[in-house]
Every structure is written in C-alpha cells, then in structure tokens.
Amino acid sequence: MTGTFHHRQERLRREAEAELRDRLLPSWHHRVLQRFAVEHDSGWYPLLNQFAPHTPANRPDAVLVGPQGVLVVLLRDAEPDWEDARAAFVWTAELLAGASTEAGAVTEAVARAVVVHPADHRGRKGHSGEHLAITEAELDRVLRHGERLLEPAEVLGIARHLASRTFDLSPIMWNPQRIPQQRGPGRTAGSGLFEVRDLRRERVERALERPFRDWRIFLDDAQLGAVRRRYSGPARITGPAGTGKTVLALHRLAYLARRTTGKLLFTTHLRNLPLIAAEQFRSLAPHLVQRIEFTHLHAWARDFLDQRGRAADVDEQQVEQAFEAVWQRAELTAPLRAFRASRSYWKDEIDRVIKGRGISALDTYRTVPRKGRGRPLPSELRAHVWQFYCEYERELSERGAFDHNDVLMRALSELDRRPLPRQYAAVVVDEVQDLTLIGLRLVHAISGDGPDQLLLVGDGQQQVYPGGWRLSEAGISLQGRGEVLRRNYRNRSAIVQHAGELDAINRFDDLDGGPTIALRSALPVLRGGHVVRWEGEDQEAALIAALRELDDDTDTAVLTRTNGAAQHWDRVLREAGFTVRSLDRWNGRTSGPIHVGTVHRAKGTEFRAVFLPDERPQSHGHRDELEAADRHRLVARTRARDHLWIATLSR
C-alpha cells in the first residue's frame, strides 16, 4: 500500500514537471509547485499565476484551496514588503467574494498569506506581520498540519469559484470542468426532495455541531454584504438577540484591518465583553489581533487621561460614601423619597440623566427628556433633584473622588482641547444602547465622521441600564447607513418563541425613527429546543437535580439579576459538588465549569443551557421597573441555545 502511494505521488510529480516545463521558473519554484500538485491527492487544488515567474510584487504566485483553507502563496527569495503581502491577500479575498457553500457565504477568515522561501533562506521565518514565512522544506506546516476548516465539497466549490473569477489563475493538474460536483450524503441530483428552507436549517444544524470556528468561515449573504460594504459615515448594525451582530462586527474589524493602517478600536460599556470579543477575534484572525484594541469605554478614558497627565481613577467606595452621605440628609431627600423611595432610582437619575447627559445647568435639566424613567418629574421637583446632585458633587470634591461619568466627561473635554494625534482606522461600539449620552459623544469624538470610521452595534430590547437618548443628540447622523438583521442563528425556535412573549419595550431610539425588529419578529433558523417552567418551594434542590439530568453540563450558565443572588448560587453549586466559574472572570474560552453571574455580565455570551432561578422581586409596580425587568428577562432567556430552565417560587 505504501509503495503504491509513493508510486502515485512520484507519477503526479512527473506529470506536474511536464506541465510546468515550458515555464521559465527558478528550480526551487519548480520543486514547490510540484509539491503542490502532488498534494492534490490530499484534497488540495493549486492554481498558478499566469505571469509567474514575473508575477507582480503585489499579487500571489499561487493560490491553494484545501482542507486547511485558502493559502495565498508568494514565492520569494527575500522577504516581501508587508504592503505587497497584504495587497496579494486582499486581491485574493476580493476574488473569494461571492463564493458560497452549503454552510453559507465564504468569509476572508478562510484565507491566509504564506510566503515561501528557498530551502537555504537565512532570513526571518515564522509569523511576520500579517503573513507566515516558511521555507520550501517546511511546506508540511501548511499542507498537512493545522486546523481543518473546509469539507471536500467546500474545497472544490471554492477552487472552482476562484478559477472562474480571473484569467490570472490557472489550475495545475486539475480541470474544474471535469471534476463532478460532490454531493452530500443521501442526496441525488434533481431529486427535489429538499426544500430550500430545509437545506438552510440542515446546514446550520450541521455547522452548530462543530465549534465556533465555522462562524469564522461562513456568514449568510446579508451578513457578508454588511462586512464588505463601504459606508460614507457612521453606520449601525441592529437586530434582535441571536442574529449575529457581534460576530458580524468582528468580521468587519478584520476586513477593515486588512485594508487600512494603524490601530482599530472595539469598545463597549460592559467590562467583560471586550475580553470575550478579543478571544473570538483571536480565533477569527490571530495575525490581526495586535491591530485591534479591545477595551471597555471607561478603561479607555482612564488610560487616555493617564497618558495626558490628567489621571482620574475611580474609587468605588469613596463614590458610594459620597452618595450615601447626601442620601441620609432627610431635609434634602424628603421630597425625593415622597415621589419615589428607591435610593437606586435617584442614583440612576444622577448617573444616567444628569451626569450621563452632561447637563451642567438647572434650566437645561428642567426641560430635558427622561426617556424610560417612568413618571414625569414636575419642574419644582427637578429643582430639588438638582440641589441633591450639587451636594453629591460637593461631597465628591471634598473627598477628591471621581465617579465613572467624571472620567468620561474629562476625557471628552481633553479630546476637545487636543484631539488624538493619530485617529483610529475604525471604531466599533458594541451594546451601544447601554452607553450614556456622554459616552456616545466620547466614542463619536474618538472616531470622527469619516467613511467606515464608526460602527454602532446594538438592540434596544436588550438595554439593561435605565435611560435613553437619540443619536442626533450626540451629533451622529446615520442617513440610512447600516443593516437590520433578522435571522436568529443562536436560539432554537422554542426559546425564541418563549422569550419573544416578553413585552420588552425598546426605550433606546437607536435608529432615530428608522425601523426596528422585535425578537418576536425574528426568523429562527434552528428548530426544536427545550423550555422547562418549574414552580415550587425548594428551587435549590430542583435546580441542582435539573443540572444533574443534563447529558453534558459544560457550556451551562446560571444567571441572576443581582450580584448577591449570583454569590448565593455560586456557594450552593460548589457545596453540591459542581465546578463553578464566575462570569466576572470569564474571557469566553470554552471550559468545563458551570458559569454563574448576573445578566449584565452575560451580555455578549451564549450557552447550550441556561438556568434562571427566581429572585424576590424588587419592583414596586412602577412602569420603568416592569419594563426593565422584561428586558432583563429577554436578555437572560436568549443566552440559551438548546435548553432553558426557568424557576418560579410559590408565594
């Protein structure tokens, strides 16, 4: 068997030698291309640049399509300029546009640039910038080793697509017209047994059996169009939970990184989401990860002020003490307590309305809209609130303390005084609906209004912080630029239907009057799913029993509304013998422990199974509290892909 295999390889090598004989190629080029031709037996389809060995510096000498993806090959005696290597990649990526398989439209993540040097090359090797440099003696590194990205039928389809898109690339040792199209198991040509919708579901179901890597390689047509589209100014991506907004944004960052110079920024209001996004991006485009800055907005502002010599660190304990000192002054807070007794309500009024909007005068506060804050505040009561706010500011000043809004406002003021010396090539803001208005103004000041420089990603139904605003209040005009995603790829249909029953009112006018899509109008791709409604008195025993009934408890989360409840369930599960990990310290990597954390920390995540224990309600029936509770429930329920367990304690 081994002898037959080597005999066939030698025959293929000789046939390739004969096919390439008329090409005036250097001898080491001949050896490399013959090796590529031999690898056809291993599922590789090589295409040679017609101009070789006089290939333009910014074009590939060859392109290979195989199980490990698409290799953009530059055969070079010396290290090429990074601009040429990038241009060769982008040229090939543009040819890939429109390639489609059963799993969806092919993305650039399937391709990588490889520079091959002669065997005696003594220069730099390994990953260099955005390409991999190897010698001809190391070809196994890219042809035999590494992650398998494509199935045989997908390889053939992509190779045929490239061969049909340009006369510059010609197949070596294979004829795209003679190779029969491979079919999936159980399918015959022209059988008519499968509806298009069933085929879409079938291929997504198959893809979900494989890890996240498949979502690096395949998007649907609408998503891929948004990745590649050129926007003349700020743009947005919106859509219900599970429609792939963040994945699309990461693909767009990679797309723009390959076509620009300088740093790009991914930011959000949430502390742990940048860690998760960075891990996903590392899986998507590892050679580009150094180009992207992943950080939450408060950390960006703090670091920026440090660099400018205007340090403004937040001492949470000092901030809480300052607020509490004012809250305990009965003569000052009596009118506020009479209207609404909740301490957190008035803390939010300062954080999300007064300081969150950058209001600096009582006259402005008297007339400002308070979207999503419940009952209107009479003008005379707003004067009392303003006095309360001024006393809070005095307490902060006496302590030499800053709160988070102070940091954002100082950063915005510093940017107005002296803009960034070098602008980011692009800025992506995820979960934009949870920013304050001052935060939105800050990201706008960071990005500017240039083409492709600012992308806002969000969904008003998933807003977990109070308040609301319009983009126009931050000076941002979309003018129709952006996408509304409708297909839900995360949650099975039973979970989408169950979560869609919640009346999660959108208080975030992200489109300034444009269309929005509620979760109940989303189009779930995945069928099935399991929703369990439990009601009783001993939910600890019930939840533990339900966890033990799972076939596999990896990729499982227990989500709560409050930090105190999360700490309680962390302790309960550990005492029951489960391995537990807090969402506060999770970066998105696959792991065995059961994750426990608040709904706030679960933003941007998904799990096979989600458990939602009941908590004593904190609502007193106020409209804004009820609306916020429904939005929290929607976020929590849509973290589950296959299995959702919801508890209700008997009262």
Quickly tell me which residue has 């050129």 as its tokens. 230
Q: How far is CA 261 from CA 228, 256, 422, in A?
A: 17, 9, 11
Q: Give the 3-state secondary structure of residue 75.
A: strand
Q: Indicate the domain borders of the chain.
A: 2-171, 208-309+421-500, 316-401, 529-649
Token couple for 482: 């952006």
Backbone angles phi, psi at 613, to 5 degrees: -70, 155
Q: Tell me the C-alpha distance between 126 and 547, whole Å.
A: 45
Query: What b/e sequence results for 435-452 when a residue is b if at least 16 CB atoms lie within 10 Å of its CB, and e otherwise?
Result: bbbbbbbbbbbbbeeeeb
What residues have CB less than 8 Å from 77, skipping those under 6 apart?
Answer: 117, 118, 121
Q: Give the 3-state secondary structure of residue 558.
A: strand
Long-range contacts (CB closer than 8 Å, 24 or more residues apart) made by 375-384: 375/339, 375/340, 375/622, 375/623, 377/339, 381/335, 381/336, 381/339, 384/332, 384/335, 384/336
Q: What's the confidence (pLDDT) of residue 537?
A: 92
Give the chain's length: 651
Q: Which amino acids are annotated as binding site for ATP, given as ranges?
A: 239-246
Count of CB atoms within 10 A of residue 261's CB?
A: 11
Around 498, how many Cα atoms within 13 Å sit in the side-chain half-sphere? 24
Token couple for 150: 């494509």
Backbone angles phi, psi at 216, to 5 degrees: -70, -35
Helix (H) or strand (E) holding 186: none
Radius of gyration of the chain (CA): 28
Q: How far is CA 165 from CA 73, 99, 114, 171, 306, in A?
A: 18, 10, 21, 12, 51
Q: Give the 3-state secondary structure of residue 195.
A: coil
Instruction: Say which CATH topology domain 529-649 has.
Output: Rossmann fold (3.40.50)
Q: Give the 3-state secondary structure of residue 429.
A: strand
Backbone angles phi, psi at 483, to 5 degrees: -135, 145
Q: What's the confidence (pLDDT) of residue 206?
A: 53
Q: Which amino acids are annotated as binding site, given as ranges?
A: 239-246
Phi-psi region of 129 (alpha: psi -120 to 50; beta: other; left: phi over 0): left
Domain 208-309+421-500 has CATH 3.40.50.300: yes
Query: What b/e sequence results for 596-634 when a residue is b if at least 16 CB atoms lie within 10 Å of its CB, and e otherwise?
Result: bbbbbbbbbbbbbbbbbbbeeeeeeeeebbebbbbbbbb
Query: 169-171 and 45-49: which strand pairing?
Result: antiparallel
Q: What's the confidence (pLDDT) of residue 185?
A: 40
Q: What's the confidence (pLDDT) of residue 586?
A: 80
Token couple for 240: 């219900």
Mean pLDDT by 10 residues, the chain (651 residues): 61 70 84 88 92 93 95 94 92 90 83 94 82 93 89 92 93 75 42 43 52 64 88 92 91 94 94 91 90 96 95 92 95 94 92 94 92 86 96 96 96 95 94 92 95 91 76 88 88 91 61 63 87 95 95 87 94 94 80 87 89 80 81 91 94 71
What residues have CB less than 8 Å from 167, skipping those under 6 apart?
Answer: 50
Backbone angles phi, psi at 403, to 5 degrees: -100, 180
Q: Do 208-309+421-500 and 529-649 fold alike per CATH?
A: yes
Q: Tell me the C-alpha distance between 625 and 621, whole Å.
A: 7
pTM for the model stands at 0.85
Q: What's the confidence (pLDDT) of residue 638?
A: 93
Is the four-CA dihedral 381, 382, 384, 389 of positive or negative sign? positive
Q: What's the confidence (pLDDT) of residue 184?
A: 42
Q: What share of the chain is helix, strand, coil (3-state, %, to 5)?
A: 45, 20, 35
